[in-house]
């Protein structure tokens, strides 16, 4: 997952400050995510989960309220079909938002978890990891569709 994040940053990192910041948030989110399974139950796990959930909510908010809007604005400036392609991707992202919000509700303030909760956490982390990986791929498609589709037009201007 980290390697895919680095590749996306290399491909589109210079496009805009907002996208740069967003991809950095993604990389930080992934770093905290992969460290959680190694934590033992207790204060360290609680702290890691809280940090992860905070980063996750910030990442989702940035995507929905900054990055997606910017991408749609850019796509609407060109009449090349890229906006229509992007509109097909957005509904496929929403289920991952719902999963992430549920995860935050369940684990954002986890205190003194039971063994059952720890077991469920491991299952939910695994499922969330798969969902996030799919989300990141869809978000990368949005960036690809709305930026690279216009690359030749911008360079020709």
Q: What is the DSSP letter of 110?
A: -
Q: What is d(CA 134, CA 127) in angstroms, rounded to the nearest whole number?
A: 11
Pair 33, 132: CB distance under 8 Å: yes
- For residue 46, is pLDDT > 80? yes
Place of tokens 């905070």: 54
Q: Which two tokens stand for residue 2?
A: 């980290």
- For residue 43, is pLDDT > 90? no
Q: Tell me which H or E stretch contains 88.
A: helix 82-107
Superfamily of domain 2-156: Regulator of RNA polymerase sigma(70) subunit, domain 4 (1.20.120.1370)
HSE-CB of 69 using CA atoms within 13 angstroms: 7
75-100 pLDDT, tens digit per residue, is: 777 667 778 888 899 999 999 999 99
Q: Tell me which H or E stretch contains 119.
A: helix 115-143
SS3 content of the chain, % helix, strand, coil (to 5): 85, 0, 15
- For residue 36, is pLDDT > 60? yes
- For residue 11, is pLDDT > 80? no
Longest dimension (CA), the chain: 61
Give residue limits of the domains in the chain: 2-156
- For residue 55, is pLDDT > 60? yes
- For residue 129, is pLDDT > 60? yes
Kindly report which listed range (36-40, 130-134, 148-152) carries the lowest average pLDDT score.
Answer: 148-152
Q: What is d(CA 71, CA 147) in angstroms, rounded to the nearest whole number?
A: 8
Of residues 52, 86, 93, the one with CA closest to residue 72 = 86
**Which one is predicted more confidently, 62 or 112?**
62
Pair 82, 115: CB distance under 8 Å: no
CA dihedral 20, 24, 29, 32 (to 10 degrees): 180
């Amino acid at each position: 997952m980290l390697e895919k994040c680095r590749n996306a940053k290399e491909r589109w990192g210079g496009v805009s400050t907002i996208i740069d910041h967003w991809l950095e948030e993604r990389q930080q989110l992934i770093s905290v995510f992969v460290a959680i399974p190694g934590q033992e139950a207790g204060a360290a796990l609680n702290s890691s989960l809280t940090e992860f959930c905070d980063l996750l909510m910030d990442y989702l908010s940035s995507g929905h309220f900054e990055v997606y809007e910017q991408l749609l604005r850019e796509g609407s400036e060109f009449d090349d079909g890229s906006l229509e392609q992007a509109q097909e991707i957005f509904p496929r992202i929403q289920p991952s938002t719902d999963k992430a919000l549920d995860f935050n509700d369940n684990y954002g303030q986890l205190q003194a978890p039971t063994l059952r909760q720890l077991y469920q956490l491991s299952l939910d982390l695994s499922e969330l990891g798969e969902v996030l990986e799919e989300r990141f791929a869809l978000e990368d498609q949005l960036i690809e569709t709305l930026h690279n589709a216009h690359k030749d037009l911008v360079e020709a201007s």
